[in-house]
Amino acid sequence: MQPLRGTRDILPDEIKLWQYIYNKANNLFSKNNYHEIQTPILENTELFKRSIGNFTDIVNKEMYSFNDQGKRNITLRPEGTASIARAFISNKLYLKKKINRLWYLGPMFRYERPQKGRQRQFHQLGVECIGSSIAMADTEVIKLATKMLQTLGCKEYILEINSIGNLEEREIYTINLIKYLNKYKNELDIDSTKRIENNPLRILDSKDYRTQEILKEGPKLKNYLKHESLKHFNEVCENLEYLNIKYTLNSNLVRGLDYYNYTAFEIKTKKLNHQNTICGGGRYDSLIKQLGGPDTPSVGWAIGLERVLMIIENNLIINNDNNIIYIATEINNNYYLVWDIINILEEYELKFDLDLSNKNLNKQLKKANQAKAKICFILHKEEIKNKYITIKWLKTSMQQTIYLSELRNYLKYLKNYITA
């Protein structure tokens, strides 16, 4: 039996990569005073309709929604920000402190056509800076995104930024954009034709060549931005320049979610062809109020981990996590000595692998070498009977014999050496 289409198993050898990413993220974000948060995979469907937007592709086409046994309409979360905003409100985090810096890592779900770099169950790593309206907050999260990618060894990327203004400015711009596009309705691609009435801003993101040619002569959102929007965006750009973070202005960048305002940005890799957006985010000052919380300006981003792994997994050098001590034994009725040895190894926090194959000792020693263990504890029947251990250093084949009563002292002096 195979996994469902668009899902995949993460096997033990691959888990090392995921643990590596988690540890790097935890280290970076902790230093910057961001705290991990975990939200449920299941949420009320209404949360995403109210936040992401009824006319977005995610809500219309991609959400996994169903009625549970209590006839509640439930959705597997398609993205992280709405859930974080809901958690912020329901747990009244705004009463504890004014600025909440949060980060998360977990699975998301969207019904899309599976392809390389796009799964129906995928994983996002994200940060949210909740409670600040100043441009420095935008810059902080963008800096963290670039730092995170660099930390993971993903260095060939392009940061694209844009200001999409506030709701009022976008509404005026949208009216003029629709007027302009209606003149070319028969020349637009099919998706863009459908979006004219419901979600015209998404047309700016069309990959169709003819649609992009039409847009070149159309109205530009930046020309509809007023002083406050321009001031905020200019400050973000000035901060990025001061930090020597290179960026490209993309006037057609709008993102696919309704809750964004002011700053919108994407980070694209040069190493992938079609699925080349590896990070996306922006400011969402109205979302929390829109969901019933206090008026709380916020900004954040999410990185698609499957796409990042496609770029970095062949270049990552992760410390080999081989077992240090292999225990080879001839099991008989008196095997309690093995448990005594294991208890002492656990006491000293040493990694070990107890052979459970019940094969002869020569085959067990062969397995110890294949596992690249440094040391093998050998327990013949005679050793078990008399409570001593033959210790074999596999690289040099040197052997020592010690009694169980001496094992603690032996490990105490050799722990630093055998864990090096």
| Residue recorded with tokens 């070498």 | 369
Buried b (16+ CB within 10 A) or exposed e, 140-173: bbbbbbbebbeebebeebebbbbbbbbeebbeeb
State which H helix or E strand residue 316 sits in: none
Alpha-carbon span 409 to 264, nearest angstrom? 60
Residues 288, 85: contact at Cβ < 8 Å? yes
Alpha-carbon span 252 to 173, nearest angstrom? 13
What's 285's DSSP letter? S
| C-alpha 220: how far from chain center | 33
E strands present in 37-93: 42-44, 64-67, 73-76
Torsion angle, CA of 356/362/367/373, rounded to 10 degrees? 100
- For residue 81, say whether it is annotated as part of any ligand binding site: yes
- For residue 212, say whether it is annotated as part of any ligand binding site: no
State the pairing for strand pair 375-379/325-329: parallel
Alpha-carbon span 95 to 88, nearest angstrom? 10
Alpha-carbon span 280 to 264, nearest angstrom? 8
- The vertex-53 CA angle with 51 and 58, nearest 5°, equals 105
- For residue 110, say whether it is annotated as part of any ligand binding site: yes
- For residue 213, say whether it is annotated as part of any ligand binding site: no
- The vertex-155 CA angle with 150 and 157, nearest 5°, equals 120
- For residue 401, say whether it is annotated as part of any ligand binding site: no
- For residue 247, say whether it is annotated as part of any ligand binding site: no
- For residue 80, say whether it is annotated as part of any ligand binding site: yes
Distances in Å between the Cα of 329 and the Cα atoms of 4, 13, 98, 272, 383 are 42, 27, 60, 50, 9
SS3 for 229?
A: helix
**Whole-number CA gyration radius for the chain:** 28
3-state percent breakdown (helix, strand, coil) of the chain, nearest 5: 45, 20, 35
Torsion angle, CA of 339/341/346/348, rounded to 10 degrees? 160
**Feature table: binding site for L-histidine:** 79-81, 110, 124, 128, 255, 259-260
**Feature table: binding site:** 79-81, 110, 124, 128, 255, 259-260
